[in-house]
Amino acid sequence: MKNNLLKAIVIILTFFMVFSGLPFLAGNLEAIALTKKKLPKNITLYAAADGQTQVELKWNKIKSPSKGYAVFRNGQPVAHLNTKKIVFTDKNLEAGTSYTYQIKTYTKKTVKMWFNKKTEKWQKKKPARKYRGKSKKEAVYTYKKKSNAVTIHTAAAPAPSTPADTGDNDNTGGNGGNNGSDSSDSAQATYTITWKNWDGTVLETDSVKEGATPSYNGTTPTRPADQNYTYTFNGWDSAVVAANGDKTYTAVFTKESKPAAATKYKYDIHLLNEPYGNGGETAIYLETNNPNKFNYELGLLNASGQNKKLNIADGFYSGASTNKYTDIDTTNFNGYVCKCSPECAGNCTFVVYEFDDEGNEKIAASKSVYIKDFFEEEQVWMQSVINEVTTSSMTNKQKMQAISGYLKADFTYPWRDNDGNFLYLITEEALPYWEKRKLNSYTSPAVLVEFGKLLGYPLHNCYNDYPEGTSEWSSIHYFAYSEADKTYYSALPDPNSGTIDPSTITMFDPSTYQFWSE
């Protein structure tokens, strides 16, 4: 009796859908209107364009949908719905455009994020106390079951209306100038293609038939030089493709620094080691005859000429009353030394900005270099260690023990003098830890955790488990721990291996130092 009633309801609703402008649901409604006892395991998605700017989506409920359903448009999530929602209207779309949709189930958890004052980024791992900023909670989604993908093309915008051609002056016998072969062209959609300059100025407007590839026929776009740069036209902001809707193309330009001849002082940028970016560091000696450090500053441009942050952590300039670095000989020192963290990798340019009396800046010097990506290089090094000291027959525990032993045998603490104080060596401090062969109790457990990730062997960093300075902290902070094997791992060598005599340090003398790549 219940099944007959359900079928009757389905037939009535299907009839209604067919005659109410929703044909995409007709014939599929029976699959959607299933009882809870018969819920399927798989998701089936149905979609249809609703005019020029909307797409209507509907799907069936399934068993165990986790927290709910996520709507994906062109591979990106645009909505997260609860388990009761099985319909969604995607609005504010572009006319005459194809969109691909998919439904996925998701789970959601809230994680705590910390702001690292040193890197100026949010991270899951709690930073050391001196770098620790505010915390926040952030939602993290994990996607599981997925539906079929459906591609929908929204309706095209109507072509601009034009006066009808009566054909009175074409000597064709009053047929309006159109013969049978032209009828398809007259019915074909026409789109408006707009070409703009960098500042929004319209350079050219074309009417292009659907499927035809537009072309720009105007004069080459230009952008005037400003105080620091000249600009060269470098094409459009997106590839020019066959017309399938109204579209705007905007001119883009490459940026080139102006010569530094008009600056007041001389600047030479020297790198003390090979630069690493995106988590890495480099040390720079800026040689200059400018006596005022506050009249210039260092900057960085990526391959596209965009300003990227340099994050100068420590600096020392001639005339300063204090010097953090132990290995700088100030006898022949004339300029500025700093350690920085470039937020850039690949082909980049270090630049010096000089300020005039009004505070206006000019690029006074530049040095183009290739900056290595710290994270990518670290992954390559870690994999090489794994390949060297482990075998496929080992368990993860045996592999981590081998890696821990390798690190202990091959690394030392940072330099210390005989009184136990850290020595800051500017020529070494900015090198990656695997090049300078030094780790400390803060970095060692973090490195082991990263090795664990590559092995698929989760490890916990114990550094922040207890308040810094407590007896519990002192005994455990330098370990990484495996919950699966109840095993603690350490990469710390004998503390005495890092103790040196400060008198043996070779001082950084700019007059004799061999700068990197020079």
Tens digits of per-residue pLDDT, 468-479? 889 999 899 999
**What is the percentage of the chain residues whose pLDDT exceeds 70?**
84
CA–chain centroid gap for 176, Å, is 58
Which whole number is the average pLDDT over 117-135? 79
Q: Please report the pLDDT score of residue 292 as a whole number.
A: 85
pLDDT single digits (tens) 29-56: 333 444 444 677 788 888 888 888 889 8
Has domain 186-257 been given CATH number 2.60.40.4270? yes
**Range in 191-205, 354-368, 448-462 with the lowest mean pLDDT:** 354-368
Q: Please report the pLDDT score of residue 274 as a whole number.
A: 93
Residue 374: its H or E element:
helix 374-389
CA–chain centroid gap for 412, Å, is 34
Q: Please report the pLDDT score of residue 273 as a whole number.
A: 92
User: Higher pLDDT residue, 163 or 289?
Assistant: 289
Instruction: Tell whether the model's pLDDT for residue 421 goes beyond 50.
Output: yes
Task: Count CB neighbours of 216 within 10 A.
Answer: 16
CATH of domain 34-153: 2.60.40.10
Which whole number is the average pLDDT over 382-392? 94
Q: State which amino acid sits at residue 155.
A: A
Where does the pLDDT of residue 187 fall: very low under 50, low under 70, confident under 90, or very high at 90 and above? low
Distance CA 298, CA 286 (A): 9
Distance CA 122, CA 136 (A): 9
Angle at 136 between CA 135 and CA 140, to 5 degrees: 130
Which whole number is the average pLDDT over 432-446? 89
**What is the percentage of the chain residues whose pLDDT exceeds 90?**
31
Distance CA 348, CA 181 (A): 57
pTM score: 0.51
Which whole number is the average pLDDT over 304-319? 82
Inter-residue contact 99 to 93 (CB < 8 Å): yes
Q: Please report the pLDDT score of residue 256 as a whole number.
A: 78
Residue with tokens 């592999």: 399
Tokens standing for 161? 């209306």
Q: Please report the pLDDT score of residue 298 as a whole number.
A: 92
Give the residue among 344, 266, 354, 333 at the shortest CA–CA distance from 302: 344
Distances (CA, A) of 298 to 39, 278, 292, 372: 63, 17, 14, 19
Sign of the alpha-carbon dihedral angle for 452, 453, 459, 462: positive
Task: Count CB neighbours of 200 within 10 A.
Answer: 8
Which whole number is the average pLDDT over 406-430? 82
Instruction: Tell whether the model's pLDDT for residue 88 goes beyond 80.
Output: yes
Distance CA 170, CA 182 (A): 15
Distance CA 438, CA 408 (A): 10
Instruction: Tell whether the model's pLDDT for residue 17 goes beyond 70.
Output: no
Where does the pLDDT of residue 409 fall: very low under 50, low under 70, confident under 90, or very high at 90 and above? confident
User: Domain spans of the chain?
Assistant: 34-153, 186-257, 267-373, 376-504
Which whole number is the average pLDDT over 79-91? 88
Angle at 227 between CA 224 and CA 233, to 5 degrees: 30
Distance CA 111, CA 331 (A): 52
Q: What SS3 class is residue 495? A: helix
User: Higher pLDDT residue, 261 or 365?
Assistant: 365
- Across 59-63, 179-183, 212-216, 253-257, which has the greatest mean pLDDT? 212-216
Give the residue among 427, 301, 453, 343 at the shortest CA–CA distance from 118: 343
Topology alike, domains 34-153 and 186-257: yes
Instruction: Tell whether the model's pLDDT for residue 423 goes beyond 70.
Output: yes
Query: What integer best gives the mean pLDDT of the chain?
Result: 81
CATH of domain 267-373: 2.60.40.10
Strands 267-271 and 247-257: unpaired
Would you tell me the crossing angle of helices 374-389 and 443-455 to the nearest 10 degrees? 70
Instruction: Tell whether the model's pLDDT for residue 306 goes beyond 60.
Output: yes
Q: Please report the pLDDT score of residue 29 as a whole number.
A: 38
- Across 102-116, 193-207, 391-405, 418-432, which has the greatest mean pLDDT? 391-405
Where does the pLDDT of residue 359 fall: very low under 50, low under 70, confident under 90, or very high at 90 and above? confident
Instruction: Tell whether the model's pLDDT for residue 496 goes beyond 70.
Output: no
Distance CA 447, CA 480 (A): 9
Q: Please report the pLDDT score of residue 445 as a whole number.
A: 94
Compute the CA torsion angle 440, 441, 442, 446 (nearest 10 deg): 90
Instruction: Tell whether the model's pLDDT for residue 488 goes beyond 90.
Output: yes
Q: Please report the pLDDT score of residue 495 as a whole number.
A: 65
Q: State which amino acid sits at residue 33.
A: A
Where does the pLDDT of residue 411 fall: very low under 50, low under 70, confident under 90, or very high at 90 and above? confident
User: Higher pLDDT residue, 84 or 473?
Assistant: 473
Task: Count CB neighbours of 148 within 10 A.
Answer: 13
SS3 assignment for 71-111:
EEECCEEEEEEECCCCEEEECCCCCCCEEEEEEEEEEEEEE
Beta-carbon-side half-sphere exposure of residue 128 (alpha carbons within 13 Å)? 12
Residue 448: its H or E element:
helix 443-455
User: Higher pLDDT residue, 10 or 268?
Assistant: 268
Distance CA 64, CA 493 (A): 51
Instruction: Tell whether the model's pLDDT for residue 499 goes beyond 90.
Output: no
**Range in 108-112, 153-157, 302-306, 317-321 with the lowest mean pLDDT:** 317-321
Where does the pLDDT of residue 181 fall: very low under 50, low under 70, confident under 90, or very high at 90 and above? very low
